[in-house]
A and B are shown apart, each in its own frame.
Chain A
Amino acid sequence: MRPWPSCDVVSPSAEPGPDPAPAPLRPWPVIRAALIAGVLWVHGTLAAPWPDLDGGDLRYDLADEELQRWAATLSAVGIDTTPRRLADRLVAVGRWSRRTQRALHRPFRPLLRLTGTGQAWGLFAFPDPHPGRLTVRARPAKSPAGDAAPWRVLYRAPGAGEAWLVDLLENRKVRGIYDDTGDRPRAGFLWNRLCDEVARRIFARWPDLSVVELRFEVMHVTPPPAAGRNEVVGVRHRRLRRRSALLGDAPRGAGTGEAGGAP
Chain B
Amino acid sequence: MIRWWVGLWDRREAADSLAMVRALVPWLFTLAPPTADTASVAFWGAVVASAGLAAGIATRLSAVVLVLLLAQLALILPAADRGIDMLIRNTLLVLACSGAGRAWSVDARLRTGRWAGDRRPIPSWPRYLLVVQLVLLYGTAGMQKVASSWLPPDWSALWIALHDPHFGRFDADWTWSPGMYQASRLATAVTWVWEWAAPLVLVAFWARDTEGRPGRRRAALRRGHILALYAALGVVFHLGTHLLLRLGIFPFAVLSLYPALVHPDAWAGLVTGIRHLRGGPP
Contact = CB atoms under 8 A, between A and B. Distances in A.
B75 interface: yes
Interface stretch (B52-60, B169-177, B223-231): B169-177
B119 A131 contact: no
Nearest to B148: A69
Given A29-B9, A176-B80, A224-B181, A7 B140 contact: no
A24 to B, nearest CB: 10
B193 interface: no
B211 A114 contact: no
A236 B87 CA distance: 32
B119 A7 contact: yes
Majority SS at the chain A contact face: loop
B166 A124 contact: no
Contact of A36 (B121, B125, B212): B125
Interface residues of A, number: 81
A118 B147 contact: no
B6 A29 contact: yes
A10 interface: yes
A225 B170 CA distance: 21
A108 interface: no
Nearest to A36: B9
Interface string B59-70: 000000001101
B268 interface: yes
A10 B268 contact: no
Interface string B1-21: 011011111111110000000
Interface residues of B, number: 89
Given A30-B6, A227-B181, A127 B149 contact: yes
Given A14-B12, A33-B9, A118-B86, A158 B81 contact: no
Nearest to A228: B176
A126 B246 contact: no
A9 interface: yes
A134 B166 contact: yes
B80 A116 contact: no
Interface string A174-191: 111101101100001110
A179 B116 contact: no
B256 interface: no
B31 to A, nearest CB: 10
Contacts of B160: 127-129, 221, 223
Interface in B83-99: 83, 85-86, 89-90, 93
A66 interface: yes
A143 interface: no
Interface in A16-52: 16-17, 22, 25, 29-30, 32-33, 36-37, 39-40, 43-44, 47-49
Interface in B123-173: 124-125, 129, 132-133, 136-138, 140-141, 143-150, 154, 156-161, 163-171
Contact of A25 (B3, B8, B83, B154): B3
A52 B7 CA distance: 37
Interface stretch (A95-103, A165-173, A206-214, A247-255): A165-173
Contact of A32 (B93, B125, B147, B161): B125
B249 A176 contact: no
Contact of B121 (A9, A25, A121): A9
Given A174-B80, A190-B79, 15 more contacts: A4-B272, A11-B11, A13-B12, A29-B6, A33-B8, A37-B5, A47-B140, A49-B144, A121-B138, A125-B141, A158-B169, A158-B171, A170-B246, A221-B159, A230-B165
List 10 A-B pairs, minimum CB-CB distance, nearest first.
A116-B71, A172-B248, A7-B14, A133-B165, A127-B160, A123-B141, A176-B80, A11-B12, A131-B164, A157-B165
